[in-house]
Structure formats: structure tokens, C-alpha cells
Amino acid sequence: MAKDRDPGEFDDVNEAVSAEWEAETTSYERVREIIGRAYIPVSADAVADAAGTSPKTARKHLNDLDEGGFVMTVISENGGTTYRRSPESLVTEQASDIRDHVSADELGTRVSEMRDRIRDLQTEYDAESPELLTSEDIDSETVREWQTTRRNLAFASAALATESDRDIESEPDETSDSD
């Protein structure tokens, strides 16, 4: 039979894990990790609290991340500054993950297949986008499939483009003398 545990024991574990995380990372790393998981705009105070740092330090790091394109600032309804992941950083992260797991040849094949599927849907429904159709024209499952395929195509295309950039960067410079 399981021994009864004092709920305070779990608080101690959480505090220990938080203390270890703070000891092993910089405030910048913690702020970046917290904002990297935020899917809605959040205040510097909220990020600071979650990252175990001061609001002033969190704000400084968030502004640095904004300048670097990782986050973007959003003015809230009450006029305060909030922060969220930039769409570009999400695409870059997803493209990097795809490149790490899928070969360029396979990626090219998948991109072609997704383009074909989108063209088929455009032809079948005589529309460029599912958003141009009403629920009477198309069922919700097909809308979801179309939107997902379009999103995945954008990620795969970005991965393929950055894979091409990586290939170009790794090619030897043919104009340099090797003698």
C-alpha cells in the first residue's frame, strides 16, 4: 500500500528542481526557454517569475531577443508591453528539426506531394484557399487537412531552402588557390 505523503514534499521537490535549474543556467537561457514555450503574449513580469529572475533582467533579455528576431513585442489592451515568440523563429526552429530528421531528397518528394494535394483541393473546390469557402461548400475535416497541408508545406519548404543554403555554404570556394 502506498505511503501517505505530505503535499509539502512535492513543494520541496519543485523548489529543488527550480533551484538546480537556476544554478545551472543563466538568466538569459531561462528567459529564452520560458518565452520559447509561450503561445500567447506574456508580460516581462510573468516571464521573470517563471524564469526566477527580476522583471528588469527579464525585460532586458526579452528586448535582446526581440532585436534578434526570436520574440516580438505586442502592446496589450491596457497599453503594457507583452512578448511572444515571433512566427519566423517558430518556422526556423521547425525547419531545423525537419532538416535533422529528413533527407533533402525525401523532403523534396514530400514538398512535391503536398503541392500536388493542395492543387487537387483547389481544383476540386474551385478556390485558392479553404478560408474562401463556407461550411456548406466544404466539410471541417477537409478544411483542417487543407490548412495542415499548407502549414506543413511552408515548414518543409523553409527546411528545403535552408538545406540548400547549408549546401552552398559547405561547398569549397572554387576561386581560391589550393597551391
Q: What does the block give as the cell for 164?
A: 540548400
- pTM for this prediction: 0.60
- As a whole number of angstroms, the distance between CA 31 and CA 17 comes to 16
Residue ranges making up the domain that contains 36: 26-85
Is 66 among the domain residues? Answer: yes
Q: Are residues 70 and 99 in the same domain?
A: no
Q: Are residues 96 and 155 in the same domain?
A: yes
Q: Are residues 80 and 135 in the same domain?
A: no
Question: Long-range contacts of range 25-29, CB-CB < 8 Å, 24 or more positions apart?
Answer: 27/51, 27/52, 27/53, 27/57, 27/58, 27/61, 28/61, 28/64
Q: How many domains in the chain?
A: 2
**Residue where a domain stops, chosen among 85, 107, 123:** 85
Give the CATH number, domain containing residue 60: 1.10.10.10
pLDDT tens profile 22-67: 888 999 999 999 999 887 899 999 999 999 999 999 999 999 999 9
Is 7 among the domain residues? Answer: no
pLDDT tens profile 54-63: 999 999 999 9
